[in-house]
Amino acid sequence: MTLNERTSLGLITVNDNVIAKIILRAAEKAEGRLLLSSEKGRVLGVASRVGVGDVLGNFSIRAEDDRYVLRFSGVILFGSSIRWVSETVLDAVAEELRSFFPHHGGRIILHIVGIKSKQIAVRDIEVMREYEAAR
């Protein structure tokens, strides 16, 4: 779903490719500890080796009132701190979305579908970050 924002300059359109790049850049900041995945747990891979096309069908973004809601999934490597990984990734996504849409708040949801060691242990953890509009 493309996002549209009307400004004094006209209509600004942000398509899914841009959102996918934001997710990839944020996942890279987790230093390989977050593997992007589908909602059902199919691992896409480490962010540095995953392309935008792989991520496109594996996140959702929608507009609610005066905020955007972004939801994506991942698998965390065994031994990594869920708190550190989720804070790092969600902070990076929030910072970029705030720069794109300063007049809107947002809710970002990282759905952790598993923990990977030799195999993937299924989990169902949602970490949510809400932020207010910058202006």
Give me the pLDDT at residue 75, please. Answer: 95
Report the Cα–Cα distance between both ends of the chain, in Å, rounded. Answer: 25
Alpha-carbon dihedral 60, 116, 123, 130, rounded to 10 degrees: -40
pLDDT score of 135 more than 70: no
pLDDT in tens, 78-88: 999 999 999 99
Tens of pLDDT, residues 108-128: 999 999 999 999 999 999 999
CA distance 104 to 99: 10
Is the confidence at residue 48, as pLDDT, over 70? yes
